[in-house]
Each structure stands twice: as structure tokens, then as C-alpha cells.
Amino acid sequence: MTISPPAAAANAADPLASVDALIEGLGSVGYIASRRIATALFMAVKLEKPILVEGSAGVGKTELALSTATLLGLPLIRMQCYEGLDESKALYEWKYGKQLLYTQILKDRMGETLADAPDMDAAMERLHGMGDLFFSEPFLEPRPLMKALREDDGCVLLIDEVDKSDEAFEAFLLEVLSAYQVSVPELGVLKAKTPPLVFLTSNNVRDLGDALKRRCLHLHIPLPEAALEERIVASRVPGIEAKLTRELVAFVQTLRSLDLRKSPSISETVDWARALVLLHAGSLAPEVVRDTLNVILKFEQDIAAVEPQVVELLHRK
Amino acid sequence: MQHTLEQFFRALRAADVRVSPAEAIDASRAVAVTGYGDRTLFRDALCSTLAKSAEEVGRFEAVFDTFFARDAAPPPPPEGSERDEPSEEDMAATESSPLAQAVLQGDSAQVQQSMEEAAARAGVADIRLTTQRSRLTRRLLEEMGLEEIERIIANARRMPNGEGEGLADRLDQARRELFAQAQQYVARQHDLYAAGSARELREERLARKQLNADGGVDPVDYQLMQALVKKMAKRLATKYARRRRAAQKGHLDVRKTLRRSMAYGGVPFRIEWKVKKVDKPSIVAICDVSKSVAAAAQFLLTFLYSLNEVVDRMDAFAFSGRMISVNDILDENGVEGAILKVLQEIGFQQTDYGRSLQDFADQHLDSLDRRTTVIFLGDGRSNFADPRLDIMKQIHDRSRAVIWLNPEPESYWGQGDSVMNRYARFCHVAKQCGTIEQLERIIEDVLRSYVPH
């Protein structure tokens, strides 16, 4: 996407004006987005819906949320999901210690206040008249989800690897995602003033429920094409030579066509590019590739399978 | 345009992309933001609201390209052809048929529009089967007013001195083009709405097919069957492969509660309940691949393969004369390769149940414990050899459950060389399992009641 400089300057003011402006804006904070990614993000903002990002590990799912937060200048609240995550860790918790102290104070004061009550009924009357603070906002310890809902100027909420959480937790998320509100039994319903921009990421450890999917926009980030990947590497690794970028991206693309246990994804390509720059490698020589193969391949078998054919793979274009 | 979107949703549903009313509303809202001007933007916006998994994205794109096909409307006729300027007489003669005039003027947009309208009247979008195509094409053309054109052609041909011949030829030509266009239109509708349901029909039939019937599964259906078995395995996987923490509410964990209460000065603020940790299922699957089950063997192995992908802790064995462990073969090869390899190594020999059980007892009896579920897949035909019921009893005693799935109907058990009725005594469940549908139901029952969770 090439935009003439004056247009870019105009768009920089409002990255949410159009999809092109969004691509441009994400580019300025170092995230090279494909058109499809930008469109999905654009729709998420316009329709005020959460966005479910899927794709294999290392294609930039989490990075998209981070970059969006930077671009929009909003605080990022991140919640990592795992098996056994529950409400008290995701939503809120009562400050038990302080509540306990509060009851202690209350007890001390109670004697004074009720001392001059003529009989039991009057004492009870007076007791009911006192404000009940035990379950109230000051004793509430907000966790990520509630924090996100209480950000009055909006924020970016990243619910990372939602597929790792339990089904029960997924069901619990539904209320937050569809109405941007939560119900706390003791306090009632808390609703967000400004709905946060929600990103959910998933590695497909398990299939997510239809109810959750239905409430979200869906974005699948595939492994990028060569041209896009070259631009990503160039943007992420400053000072890398164009020739080296081209060669290493071509090599990684060939690797992806092989039958490997874990194909290298974008983060591996970027790491590799950084490693090569550090090693002052001007071009891809077979021995350099062999020495650094462990940066892009994460399984012993994969390395063993690729190592003998490095020379051949380098020449296959 | 709302109507077009509705039609598009229908086409998506036919292609197995689930579109709920809420998603349809989202899609309409998205379109309201993007408008119809930018095709890519339009497509991506619809895609992010409607397609909810990587596979669905693929199907979505296919349907989008067919539905909003660019070449649906034929290109306008080349410049300077005689049809561009229909003569006054032609226009006068075809006055009664707007369609004929549109065709003569080369107004493809007009033709396209009237075709869409006629299609709605003729109910082309309700197409279900390939065989309906020619009838629907005919009806579509009738609705468009082809008869009127035919009448004009006939009239023109009857005119004296061949005056009308020119017009008749031109209209005849146009009629042929129209026919081709209508055919194409109906074919496209068929692709959109019926292709998916035809596949569903085949899958349904296949799921009920007897697997040990002569010839087994038709090679044509083989791929489909594998896909079906895989789908089934995946369904089971999402249900059972994960370890769950099942909280047993009602049983107070006193020790834990007391420990927790320390932080609050001994006041039991938080009650702790006993939580039962769940063992992952451990399954031993033993599959008969001998001659007598030749037809079903491939299917049983496909299932074994899928099960291997689903269950974390599974030991798989295959036998006919002897028994071997096939864990490595299943782990290292693709499904077709694995089946072929197992059959090459051990398949289609004379069955010897006694010998095979002996092999199993020698190598693996120790690995059976009270958490293990043993699944036999076989017909229980021992070729009159010693069935070694003593080993079967040992297996029965040591494991949590023994389940035998037999492709033969129960009335055959015990007839001829079948010792199934004798084995059945040492099984917790012994059932006939002849079709994929039966298999799925049984395996689900098995996992629910015999695999601890």
C-alpha cells in the first residue's frame, strides 16, 4: 500500500478514518498489517465487537494487540489464560484482610454507639441505620477484566490464549464480551462507560464454543507471503541489508514447504534476521545457515532433517 | 441488496459455514459501514463477521467468488458489431418482447436483471439435485419470456420474400446465447446451494453402510469415510482428551480450609472443597486385521489411527497370526501409510486368537491396571484353535473395563469357528459395531462410562 506523503500526514491524525489509514498507522508503530488484518480490526472498532485472532504460534497475534494499543494511545490490559483460571483471578476479589480489620473497628465502635440504647430492639434499629460497607467498592480488588471495564477513556484488553482456559470460564466471558458488563452479586451490574477494544487470541489447543465465536469477529492470521514477510523483517530489524532479507525470507519460505513438525513462523524469521545481523553475516552462506539453524527450527528432528539439504534448499528458489 | 445478502447467507449455510441470525445482523452492520464500492473491503468485512475458523474462511472465499462472480454477466458485445445498432424495423417487430429488444440492443445489464427476477419466480435457488438442472433452465427461460421471442422468430420467418430472415437469424442467435447463459446461471446456483447438501447425503449414507459387507467400502467413498472417521475422532477428542478438575461440592476439605483461615486470624473466610484430580484415560486398543475381517480391517485401522491422535495415553496392537505393537507405525506415518504398513507387516494371515493373546500376555499384561480400558476390535473367529480364555480372564480381572466391538451381528456369535460368545463372558461390553454411526455411539458410551473422568 503506497500512499503519497501528504495523504499519509492527513491520515496520521486519525488512524481509524479508513482501512488504508489503519494500515499506515499500524506501520508507523512497527506492525506491517495485511489488508485483511486491518479490515478486521477496522470492523472491530466500528462495530464495537471483540475480535478473536487465530493462527499458529508466532505469527503476531499478541503483537497486533500491543501495536493497536500503542497506535490508539490506550492503556493495554493483558490477561493470560490458563487451565484453572477462575473469576477471582480474572474479575475481582474481595480484600479479605481489610474487611477483617473493618469488622474489628466496627466491633469497637459498636459498643460506644449502642451503649445508651435502652433495649435490644432500639439497638437493632440503630444497627440497621448504620451504613453497610462490608461489601462495597473500597474493599473490591479489581482484576484485569474489571480493570478494563472501569477504564473510563477506553483501553485495549488482551485475553491471551483463551483456548487454554476451561469451558466454564469461557462461558463466564460471554457476558463481558457481549454487553461489556459484569455482575457482582453483592454490588449489582457494573457496566463499562467506554467499551474496551477486546482481543482474544487462540492457538487452537481446543475448539472454542460456538457461543463465544458468535460474539466475536474472527481473524485468522496465516503465515505471510514472501513480499509481506520481507517488509516485516525490514521493519523489525533495522539496519539489515535488502539482499540478506530477500535471501533469508526465501529460505524460510522454502522451509515452510517441507514437512516439519513446527514450521518457522514470523517471530522465528525475525529472530533469525537479528541473529544474522549480530553475526555480521552479509549473505546466506551454507555454514552460517547450519550454525544458526536452531534459531528457526525448534525440534531436534527438524534440524536433523534440514541440515543435510541446506545447500540444496539455498539454491532452490 | 438486503435480499442478495440473505441469499448469500443461504449459500454459505449450504457450504457448511454456520451463519446464525446474530452473525447475519453483524454482517449487515459491517456492510453498512463498508458499503459495496470496494470489493476487497466488502469481502474482508463479511469474512471477519461470518467465517469463524480457518476452514470456514476457505469455504467462505470459495462461496464468495462463486456468488459474487465477476464473469456472471457476459461481456458486452464487441464494438461495431451489427447488433449494436438494431434497425427501426427490428425494434418495431419486437415491440411485444422487452427481452428481445434488450438482447438486440446488447443490453446485458437488462438481460441479467430480468434473469435474476425470473429466477426468483422460478425458484431456481431451491435446486437440490443435479438432475433438476435442465428442467429449471427451461422454467427460467419461460419466466423470462422466451416464448414471446420464439413467436416473433416464427412470425419473421413467415414473412414474404425472406424479409424477416435477417431478424429471425439474429434473434435465433440471441436465443442460443440466452440459453447458454441460463444454463450457466442454473449451474452456478447448483454449485452454491446443492453441492453441499449432496455431500451431506453421501456422508449420511456412508455412516450407515455395513462395513463388513462384501467388498467393504467403495474406493470412491474411501476418502470421504476417512474424513468422516477423523471428524468423529475430533469430536470425541474435544470432549474427552482434556483433563478436567471435577470439584466434588459437598465434601469439605477441613485441613485446607483451616490452613487458608490462618491468614484471616483463624476465621474460615474461605471454605475449601475437596477436588478430585482426574486421571487421563489410558486405553489399550487391540485390532484384528486377519482375512476374515479383511473388509472391515481398513476401517478399524482408520479408527485406531484417529483414536491414537485423540487419546494421549494409548497403546495400539494389531494381530492376525501373531500380535505386534503398532504404536510407532501409527505415530510416524500418515493415516494411509500407516494402514498400509500395518497390513503389510501382519495383515490378512490366518487368525490365531490364542497365539495373539499369548503374545499380548507376554509383553504387555503388566501394563494393564485399574485405570486401563481395553478395546478389542475383531470378529472373534479363532479358526478352531484354542481361544485361551484363561488369558482373556486375566485381562478382564486386571483392567478397568474390557470392551469388544464385533463387526458381525450378534446372531452369528458362536456359530462356526466363532468363539465370540465365550469371549463375551469376559467383557464388560460386547457389542455389534458394523457401521461408522454405531461405532461413534458405542465409543462415546465407552468413554463416558468406562474412562475415568
Residue to substitute from A16, A43, A93, A163, interface B, most B β-carbons within 10 A: A43
Question: What ipTM does the predicted assembly reach?
Answer: 0.77
Amino acid sitting at position A171: A
Question: Which of B41, B48, B242 is nearest residue A206 as measured by Cβ atoms?
Answer: B242
Least confident of A118-127, A299-308, B271-280: B271-280
Q: Which residue has the cell 524460510?
A: A252
Q: Residue A308: pLDDT band by 50, 70, 90 thresholds? A: confident
DSSP class of residue B378 equals S
Q: How far is A37 from chain B (nearest CA, A)?
A: 9
Length of chain B: 453
Mean pLDDT of A59-67: 90
Query: Quick one: angle between helices A120-129 and A96-114, nearest 10?
Result: 140
CB contacts of B269 in chain A (<8 Å) are 96, 100
Higher pLDDT, B95 or B289: B289
Question: Residue B410 — φ and ψ, nearest 5°?
Answer: -60, -30
Residue A50 has pLDDT above 90, yes or no: yes
Cβ proximity of A86 and A144 under 8 Å: no
Residue A24's alpha-carbon distances to A4, A28, A30, B132, B371, in angstroms, are 11, 6, 10, 51, 58
Looking from the CA of A219 toward its CB, the CA atoms found within 13 Å total 30
pLDDT digits (tens, 9 = 90+) for B313-330: 778 888 888 888 888 888
Determine the distance in angstroms separating the CA of B236 from the nearest CA of chain A, rounded to an integer: 12
Q: Name, in order, each residue with C-beta under 8 angstroms of A104's C-beta and a sequence gap of 6 or more.
A: none
* Three-state secondary-structure class, residue B269: coil
Taking CB atoms and an 8 Å cut-off, how many pairs form between chains A and B? 74
Q: Which of B48, B32, B23, B51 is nearest to A217 (CA)?
A: B48
Q: What share of chain B is helix, strand, coil (3-state, %, to 5)?
A: 60, 10, 25
Q: Which of B382, B232, B210 is nearest to B296 (CA)?
A: B210
Using a CB–CB cutoff of 8 Å, tell me whether A155 touches chain B.
no
Query: Cβ contacts (< 8 Å) between A221 and chain B: which residues?
Result: none
Q: Is B23 on the interface with A (CB under 8 A)?
A: yes
* B318: Cα within 13 Å, side-chain hemisphere: 30
Mutate to test the interface with A, among B52, B272, B273 (most CBs of A within 10 A): B52
Q: Which residues of A touch B54 (CB under 8 A)?
A: 54, 220, 222
Dihedral sign of CA atoms B142, B145, B151, B153 in order: negative
A206 contact residues in B (CB cutoff 8 A) = 238, 242
- Distance, in Å, from the CA atom of A78 to the CA atom of A62, rounded to the nearest integer, reads 10
What does pLDDT average to over chain B? 78
Contacts of B52 in chain A (CB under 8 A): 52, 210, 213-214, 216, 218
d(CA B319, CA B381): 13
- Average pLDDT, stretch B261-274? 79
Tell me which residue has cell 500500500: A1
Residue of B44, B61, B243, B249 to mutate when probing chain A, most A C-beta within 10 A: B44
DSSP result, A210-230: HHHHHHSEEEE-PPPPHHHHH
Element (H, E) at B316: strand B313-319
Cell triple for B195: 453441492
**Which of B330 and B312 is assigned the larger pLDDT?**
B330
The pLDDT value recorded for residue B70 is 58
Q: How far is the C-alpha of A24 from the C-alpha of B137, rounded, in Å?
A: 49
DSSP structure class, residue A165: S
A217-220 and A51-54 beta bridge pairing: parallel
Per-residue confidence (pLDDT) for residue A5, from 0 to 100: 40
Q: For residue B357, what is its C-alpha cell?
A: 493373546
Q: Do A220 and B29 touch (CB under 8 A)?
A: no
Please give the helix or strand (H or E) that residue A197 lies within, else none.
strand A197-202
What is the amino acid identity at position A305?
Answer: A
Residue A213 and residue B47: Cβ atoms within 8 Å? no
According to the model, what pLDDT value does residue B220 have?
A: 66
Provide mean pLDDT across the span A235-249.
88
Closest-CA residue to B52 (of A89, A152, A11, A49) = A49
pLDDT at A3 over 60: no
DSSP-derived 3-state class of residue B376: strand
Q: CA-to-CA distance for B15 and B53, rounded, in angstroms?
A: 14
The reply to whether B33 touches chain A by the CB within 8 Å rule is yes
Nearest-CB residue to B26 (from A49, A52, A54): A49
- Quick check: B206 and B224 in contact, CB under 8 A? yes
Nearest CA in chain A to B58: A220
Distance from CA of A136 to the nearest CA of B (A): 17
Contact call for residues A237 and A270 (beta carbons, < 8 A): yes
List the one residue out of B120, B119, B83, B113 whose CA is nearest residue B99: B113
A36 shares contact with chain B (CB less than 8 Å)? yes
**Alpha-carbon span B26 to A38, nearest angstrom:** 18
The Cβ-side half-sphere exposure at B67, using a 13 Å CA radius, reads 23
What predicted TM-score, i.e. pTM, was given to this entire model?
0.67
Dihedral of CA atoms B92, B95, B100, B106 in degrees, nearest 10, equals 60
Q: Mutating which of A16, A203, A218 best tests the B interface, going by the most B Cβ atoms within 10 A? A: A218
Q: Among A59-68, B150-159, B181-190, B275-284, which stretch is predicted with the lowest mean pLDDT?
A: B275-284
Sign of the torsion angle spanned by Cα atoms A278, A282, A287, A289 = positive
In chain B, count H helices and then E strands: 20, 8
